[in-house]
Structure 1
Amino acid sequence: MPFFSIVIPTYNRARLLGETLESVFVQEFSDYEVLVVDDGSTDDTREVLARYGERVRVLRQENQGQGVARNLGIQHAAGSYVVFLDSDDLWFPWTLGTWRQAIDMYGGPSVVMGTPATFQRPGELARVRREPLRAHAFADYFASADETFARTACVIAVKTEALRRVGGFTSRRIISEDHDLLYRLGTAPGFVWVEAPLVMGYRQHGGSSSRQLEQGYEGLCYHLEQEELGRYPGGESRRRERLTLILHGVRHVSRWLVEHGRQDLALDLYRRSLRGHFVVPRWRYMLGFPPWMVASSLRQFRR
């Protein structure tokens, strides 16, 4: 049984998928399996994957979105931990070894999260240097709520049994399905954030389409709805921590929506989140967001 199962969902990224896989096959830690889930690609993805032969287990499904694709990978994973990698991102040679070091050092936490470096062209990652391990341990994910660091499923290793226990990712086509998963894993024992070394190159793509904006809005509405329905673990005693995490996303996405001309969605998200913001509380956002939105909208109108 491999220690890591690497799950790579992909959809029409034949041009980038090979680069991603090559960054896996140069890993210094070699006890892993690679599962690529082809989410109904119509480009040359099959031909690219065929070049890797038995080094890659290929799973295929009709196009159903990244969450469902990742779940198919989880279902077939044989490793003790599942690690997720998007098919346009890149790893450093020390990535898996760093996760294994953190897992051993902290006694097998349920979730280990790394820190990404952003890039647009692969050559930009040449500046990233390997550093000694610098990590921070918490009782569980919710206990890290007051810490400020990038949180995404692109840089996590999770115990396979913990993933299966919470049912994996939502099948909803929302941008923030990874945060929803982390909230459902919120009380699983042991969470470690690896501050250094950087473990992944996160590829930035230009622009935000109308559908991406709507999916971002829908994702945060979904988080707020799940919290209201009591679907996230921890009960009343962990409510402040859950809201701290969810509302951080609300503030980020509502500003993003305004900056891209979707004041209607931003205002609705603001309205939906007000009750939670009174609990945390975040007075600066509650009092400052409406006038900031108006001023920002006026600046956009004058351009």
Structure 2
Amino acid sequence: MPDHNHSPRLSVVIPTYGRGAKLANLLAKLDDQTLAPRDYEVIVVDDGSPEPVQIDRAALRYPCKLLRQPNQGPGAARNTAFEHVRAPLVLYLNDDAVPARDLLHKHVAIQARLQSPRAVLGSFEFTPESLRSPLTQVLSRTRYLFDYPMMQAGAEYGWPNLYTCNLSVPAELVRKVGGFDARNFPEAIMDDTEFGYRLEKLGVRVLYRPDAACGHDHELTPAAYLRRAIRLGVHQARFARVHGDPILLRAKPGDDLESTLLEPARNSVILFHQHAARAQAWLERFEAQHYGSKLDDASAKSCAEIVARLASAFSMRGWLLELAGVDPFAALEGEPGAGELTSLVVLSKDALPLTQRCIAALREAADPRHPHELIVVDNGSRDGSAEWLAAQSDVKLVRNATNQGACRARNQALQHARGACIAFLDNDAFVQPGWLSRLKRHMALDARNGLVGPLSDRAAHGQQITATLGASAPSDPHELARAIDAKLAREKSRLSRPATLMSSFCILVRRAVIDRIGGFDERFTPWGFEDDDFTLRARLAGFKARVAFDVFVRHEAYGGPKAEWHRELLLRNWRRFAGKWGLDPARHGDYGPLAALRGESVAPELLCAPFDGSQRLDPADLEPVRRGARAA
């Protein structure tokens, strides 16, 4: 008969969810311990199991309490249990634990002999039944699940080796650190190591004592293991965010995680993605073919190599899911953005052959999976451009009687644009088939992405490339552009780089950017530095910009009076850009100080540019800077 009045020496805490048979086996093993039943109590918390746990407590020799709560995760369950703990020492066990007969006695005895508080970690070896699984055999020999195979008996370890599968901790220490952080770590992964991190802040380390023995009745399937790897990555990244310590992400405090961690991780995942399905299929076949057999060293090594690659890539998926808001595999598969309307905005001014060629390229590249609307703003053309555009059934024409400049023209188009994304194009930019779907895939790879642009033969901010195709290169510039685009799409598929500033000759913009910062700042009328300003404002508003390596858009070169006028505009508008953003007007093109700008320190009126026509437009800005120079 359990003695409920005697003060126990040990409280055993067991969170459980949906594993009634394993829990029943554990409770039976706890009924056969060498420690006197009156010296310990067991507190089980049913964490919202689909079929509520039932315990015949009258049949047990020790005091046992069953608590129930809605599903909140094992950390919350342990916290619930701790409210009922009566002993000075707490032993945390998983519900799939198979304890040795002397497990409880060992923990009590070891803790009693310690000179200073420690978290005592016992062994947790897979049971023979679990080791029928080849994957589980490999995990039992490596550190791809736990570090047990590398740990030494009697040695002390830091918080990354604190596991609550078989762990005793003085109750006072649990109370001091506030228990488990169930809000940030609600899953059965890293909830315990995060608890250990806070314990170590109090000077408490982990003492490994494998003689406090416990079996682990858990057979891991490849699919379950890889799901766990993703969630491990999520919680590693969350740990870095919560504590400001990126050690689990292989980084140091103060590191720029975007460049040192997320960028390499994203590229690694993208490159591995093409091999992931084959690697998973291999692991599934290996599991089926060797199930029930003991692996030889060579087979175990082969499997371990595949597991290591998969575990690394899948944990990086978790990093990106947590910190970038997207599982990259989801964006790499299927057709991101399919079915969503994209608004294509083209500017026209007295260059009808170029406009016709630009629109012909857009029509040829049209993809039924990516519906679009085509909005063309004509800025007072006198060569028949407006009349030709008005006759095109697929063009929504915004017609200005005079040249309003690129900034206002784009803002006018925004008043008509209905797309989830808006692509701004100059009429001398010529796209290739597949351009839009590839840019949208890059956009989808990070929830924070707001702008994506291509490579080109004429562009600023590092978007310009010189591509050579050898002796077989087409002589026609449009055919050459198509060949370059096909080569990049093949060799640089889905790769990109981050950008701070971008060119607007061809740029895809997420609608959320427009909603946040508005349109183009018309102080840069008619042209020049309006795209630098727009992309800078987007970054300061929290959006990311990327240059796609697998999209090439030809951008027609020009010279003569137009080029001369544009050179003068760049000089004038640099002074305006520098004045707006606190740069040195005398140091043309010196963007260095912009790196220190942070959105929270920038006045709202600098970030937002309304596109409803309310911006003041100075007619003098629309005149050529030098007399006699012809407007573009």
Shorter-chain TM-score: which interval? Answer: 0.5 to 0.7
Could you tell me whether the CA contact under 8 Å between 2:55 and 2:66 is conserved in 1? no
Cα separation, 2, equivalents of 1:40 and 1:48: 19
Structure 1: distance between partners of 2:310 and 2:46: 34
1:166-195 per-residue CA deviation (whole Å, 9 max, x = no partner) reads: 111121323211111110111334535234
Determine which of 208, 211, 233 is the counterpart of 1:217.
233
Counterpart Cα distance in 1 of 2:79 and 2:40: 18
1:155 and 1:177 map into 2 onto residues whose CA distance is 14
Considering fraction of residues, name the structure with more helix. 1
Counterpart Cα distance in 2 of 1:263 and 1:106: 37
Which residue identity is paired with 2:181?
T
The within-5 A match list for 1:58-207 is 58-107=66-115, 109-119=117-127, 121=129, 135-136=154-155, 141=158, 151-171=162-182, 172-174=185-187, 175-207=189-221
- Going from structure 1 to structure 2, the CA distance change for 1:62 and 1:49 (only over 3 Å counts) comes to farther
CA contact (8 A) 1:102 1:192 kept: no
Q: Say which SS state the counterpart of residue 42 (structure 1) adopts.
A: coil
Change (3 A) 1:84 1:189: same
Q: How far 1:9 sits from its partner (Å)?
A: 0.7
Task: Rate the CA distance shift 1:97–1:51 in 2: closer, same or farther, 3 A.
Answer: closer
Asked if the contact 1:91–1:199 (Cα under 8 Å) also holds between the matched residues in 2, the reply is: yes
Q: Name the SS for the 2:95 alignment partner.
A: coil
Aligned counterpart for 2:17 among listed residues 11, 24, 27: 11
* C-alpha distance in structure 1 between counterparts of 2:45 and 2:170, whole Å: 19
Cα distance, 1:106–1:246 mapped onto 2, change above 3 Å: farther
Is this contact kept in 2: 1:85–1:155, CA < 8 A? yes
In 2, the alpha carbon distance for the partners of 1:116 and 1:205 equals 13
Q: Which has the larger radius of gyration?
A: 2
Q: Does structure 2 conserve the Cα–Cα contact (< 8 Å) formed by 1:257 and 1:266?
A: no
Supply the distance in 1 between the matched residues of 2:103 and 2:119 (Cα, whole angstroms): 15
Instruction: Name the CA distance, whole Å, in 2 between partners of 1:34 and 1:195.
Output: 22
**Contact 1:84–1:157 (Cα < 8 Å) also in 2:** yes
- Check conservation: 1:223, 1:246, Cα contact below 8 A: no
For residues 256 and 246 of structure 1, what CA distance do their matches in structure 2 show? 19
- Deviation readout 1:79-126 (Å, 9 max, x if unpaired): 1011111111111012122222221222352421222212252899xx
Pairing of 1:255-274 with structure 2 (within 5 A): 258-259=309-310, 262=314, 265=317, 268=320
Provide structure 1 residue ranges, at least 5 long, that are not aligned to the other structure.
125-133, 231-241, 273-303
Task: Using the TM superposition, give the Cα deviation of residue 247 of structure 1 relative to its aligned residue in structure 2, in angstroms.
Answer: 4.3
Q: Distance in 1 between matches of 2:239 and 2:169?
A: 21
1:226 and 1:4 map into 2 onto residues whose CA distance is 32
Q: What is the total number of aligned residue pairs between the two structures?
A: 240
Q: Given that residues 102 and 135 in structure 1 are in contact (C-alpha distance below 8 angstroms), is that contact kept between their aligned partners in structure 2?
A: no
Q: 1:268 deviation in Å?
A: 3.6
Q: Which amino acid aligns with 1:168?
A: G
In the alignment, the residues of structure 2 paired with residue 195 and residue 47 of structure 1 have an alpha-carbon distance, to the nearest angstrom, of 31
SS in 2 for 1:7: strand
Aligned residue for 1:185, secondary structure, equals helix
Amino acid at match of 1:86: N
TM-score by length of 2: 0.34
Go from structure 1 to structure 2 and tell me whether the alpha carbon gap of 1:90 and 1:247 turns closer, same or farther (over 3 Å shift). Answer: farther
Once the two structures are overlaid, the 10-residue window that deviates more, 28-37 or 51-60, is 51-60
Query: Could you list the per-position Cα deviations for residues 222-249 of structure 1 after superposition, in whole angstroms to 9, with x for gaps in the alignment?
Result: 1211331x7xxxxxxxxxxx93x6749x
> Counterpart of 1:113 in 2: which secondary structure?
strand
* Whole-Å separation in 2 of the counterparts to 1:13 and 1:49: 18
Out of 218-227 and 73-82, give the one that drifted further: 218-227
- The residue number in structure 2 matching 1:38 is 46
Report the residue type matching 2:186 in the other structure. R
Closer, same or farther: CA 93–33 of 1 in aligned 2, 3 Å: same
2:342 match? none
Contact 2:94 2:165 (8 Å CA) reproduced: yes
Root mean square deviation of aligned Cα: 3.7
Alignment correspondent of 2:564? none
The correspondence for 1:21, drawn from 20, 24, 27, is: 27
Distance (whole Å) between structure 2 residues aligned to residue 52 and residue 42 of structure 1: 24
Note the C-alpha offset of 1:55. Answer: 3.1
TM-score by length of 1: 0.67
SS of 1:90's equivalent in the other structure is strand
Higher relative contact order (CA 8 A, sep 6+): 1
Shift of 1:48: 5.7
In 2, distance between residues paired with 1:263 and 1:157? Answer: 29
One-letter code aligned to 2:317:
L
| Structure 2 unaligned spans of 5+ | 1-6, 133-152, 252-260, 270-305, 325-632
Separation in structure 2 between the aligned mates of residue 218 and residue 153 of structure 1, nearest angstrom: 19
Residue 58 of structure 1 aligns to a residue whose secondary structure is strand
Q: What is the one-letter code of the residue matched to 2:45?
A: V
CA gap 1:20/1:263 in 2 versus in 1, 3 angstroms: closer
CA deviation string 1:139-198 (max 9, x = no partner): xx46xx7xxxx5411121111111122111121323211111110111334535234315
Contact persistence 1:137–1:190 (CA under 8 A): no
User: Judging changes above 3 Å, is the alpha-carbon distance between structure 1 residues 37 and 257 closer, same or farther for their aligned structure 2 residues?
Assistant: farther
Q: 2: CA distance between counterparts of 1:45 and 1:59?
A: 10
1:214 and 1:123 mapped to 2: Cα distance? Answer: 23
Alpha-carbon distance change, 153 to 63 in structure 1, aligned in 2, over 3 angstroms: same
Q: Please tell me whether the aligned partners of residues 84 and 153 of structure 1 are also in contact (alpha carbons under 8 angstroms).
A: yes
Q: Provide the rounded CA distance (Å) in 1 between the counterparts of 2:106 and 2:90.
A: 14
Q: Distance in 1 between matches of 2:231 and 2:57?
A: 29
Q: Which stretch shifts more, 60-69 or 198-207?
A: 198-207
- Which amino acid is the alignment partner of residue 259 of structure 1? L
Q: What is the match of residue 289 of structure 1? A: none
Percent of residue pairs bearing the same amino acid type: 24
